[in-house]
């Protein structure tokens, strides 16, 4: 199609030709014909369509914010030889220039380029856009190749240990059966001792061994880590502060999930994720937090805390203006209550029964986190 310059050249040439013809001057008409000829040549220049087959890979498909990710394009020429060209691959709201070397007929080239990972979210990558323009920029034609893919830029995390709950919830550590809290789970068979309930006797094993065997049951309820994230836009005038808050919430959740314990994440507008202690829980939590964005709504972080089921550890990630007194009102419902404030304007004292960390970056959070285990 014609560019604005091409349309202007065509319109000006037509007007010039009409004026020359009307006034009887051949020179303007000759210039007009030259301009129209240039436009026609420009359109013909952009008509050829390279027959390219593009296969895209993204490595890795999931990456933490700020970590490297690359796009790999395998470009195969299905037609005649193609000279070196510059294409553009869409990556979210940005465009990445991709230099494709000269391709002979039937040839394949692999091109690698860096993808932007500075912003968290689902980043659509592709399709590859090939822009063909004439030397005078009178005409330009854009063609698309290859199916788009999605790069998942997840929150950045730092290693944080599981918060000690202060109560013994499990006899032999976390189990892998993902039993609901408060149930009794089969752990092993052992010999009968006086005082064991007869309903726990395993008769088949007893008959096979000649010794009375009973099922050993353990309490499989595990302390849950609940993370409440402040997500109201008015609480986060600086977008970078909210991103840091999401990173902190992800670090806390991933640490608890990595230890095999249940995790709940919610904002004032409702639940974000809930896991029960499985091996892939950390990946699930990070994927869910990737999609969290500031969202207007009536639910404040204090109201979200009040709707949380009691038990385990409560971690509130909030802005510097969080109402610590109202959050502390629920401290008796949990084994431990921790508030993480992102870049507060002024220091504050934690109310009794609650712990407070003010931090300006993830490194400061990681340095302060171990101190929580030394006091209650």
Q: What is the mean pLDDT of residues 242-260?
A: 95
pTM score over 0.85: no
Contact 325, 318 (CB under 8 A): no
Is 315 in a helix, a strand, or coil? strand
**165 confidence band (pLDDT: 50, 70, 90):** low
Q: Is residue 179 very low, low, confident or very high in pLDDT (cuts 50, 70, 90)? A: very low
Residue 24: CB partners within 8 Å, gap ≥ 6?
none
Residue with token string 């822009």 = 131
pLDDT band of 168, cuts 50, 70, 90: very low
134: which 2 tokens? 């004439």
Indicate whether 99 pLDDT > 90: no
DSSP string, 248-290: HHHHHHHHHHHTT--EEEEETTEEEEEE-S-TTHHHHHHHHHH
Q: pLDDT band at 57, cuts 50/70/90?
A: very high
217 vs 235: which has the higher pLDDT? 235
Contact 309, 335 (CB under 8 A): no
What is the fold of 52-154?
Immunoglobulin-like (2.60.40)
Q: What is the pLDDT of residue 16?
A: 85
pLDDT at 350: 86
pLDDT band at 228 (very low <50, low <70, confident <90, very high): very high
Confidence tier at 266 by pLDDT (50, 70, 90): very high
Neighbours of 62 (CB within 10 A): 16
Tokens of 236: 């986060």
Contact 342, 320 (CB under 8 A): yes
Confidence (pLDDT) at 30: 84
The whole-number pLDDT of residue 180 equals 40
Tell whether the torsion through CA atoms of 318, 319, 320 and 321 is positive or negative: negative
pLDDT tens per residue across span 351-375: 888 999 999 999 999 999 998 865 5
Looking at domain 225-374, which of 3.30.70.20, 1.10.10.370, 3.40.50.410, 3.40.50.720 is its CATH number? 3.40.50.410
* Extents of the domains making up the chain: 4-40, 52-154, 184-219, 225-374
261 or 45, which is more confident?
A: 261
Of the ranges 34-38, 184-188, 245-249, 368-372, the best mean pLDDT one: 245-249
């Amino acid at each position: 199609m014609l560019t604005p310059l091409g349309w202007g050249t065509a319109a000006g040439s037509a007007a010039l030709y009409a004026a020359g013809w009307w006034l009887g001057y051949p020179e303007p008409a000759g210039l007009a014909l030259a301009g129209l000829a240039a436009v026609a040549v420009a359109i013909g220049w952009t008509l050829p369509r390279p027959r390219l087959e593009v296969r895209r890979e993204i490595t890795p498909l999931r990456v933490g914010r700020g970590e490297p990710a690359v796009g790999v394009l395998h470009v195969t020429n299905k037609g005649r030889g193609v000279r070196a060209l510059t294409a553009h691959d869409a990556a979210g709201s940005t465009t990445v220039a991709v230099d494709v070397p000269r391709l002979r007929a039937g040839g394949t080239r692999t091109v690698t380029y860096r993808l932007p990972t500075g912003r968290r979210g689902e980043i659509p990558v592709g399709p590859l856009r090939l822009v063909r323009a004439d030397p005078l920029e009178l005409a330009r034609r854009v063609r698309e190749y290859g199916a788009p893919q999605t790069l998942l830029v997840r929150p950045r995390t730092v290693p944080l240990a599981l918060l000690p709950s202060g109560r013994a919830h499990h006899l032999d550590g976390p189990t892998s059966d993902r039993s609901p809290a408060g149930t009794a789970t089969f752990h092993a068979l052992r010999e009968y001792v006086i005082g064991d309930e007869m309903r726990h006797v395993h008769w088949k094993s007893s008959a096979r061994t000649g010794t009375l065997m009973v099922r050993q049951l353990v309490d499989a309820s595990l302390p849950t880590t609940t993370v409440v994230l402040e997500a109201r836009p008015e609480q986060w005038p600086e977008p970078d502060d909210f991103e840091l808050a999401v990173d902190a919430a992800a670090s806390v959740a991933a640490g608890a999930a990595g230890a095999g314990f249940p995790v709940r994440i919610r904002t004032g507008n409702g639940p974000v994720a809930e896991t029960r202690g499985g091996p892939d829980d950390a990946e699930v939590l990070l994927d869910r937090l990737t999609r969290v964005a500031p969202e207007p709504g009536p639910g404040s972080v204090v109201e979200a805390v009040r709707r949380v089921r009691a038990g385990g550890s409560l971690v509130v990630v909030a802005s510097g203006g969080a109402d610590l007194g109202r959050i502390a009102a629920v401290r008796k419902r949990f084994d431990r209550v921790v508030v993480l404030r992102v870049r507060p304007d002024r220091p504050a004292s934690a109310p009794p029964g609650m712990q407070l960390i003010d931090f300006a970056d993830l490194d400061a959070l990681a340095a302060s986190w171990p101190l929580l285990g030394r006091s209650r």
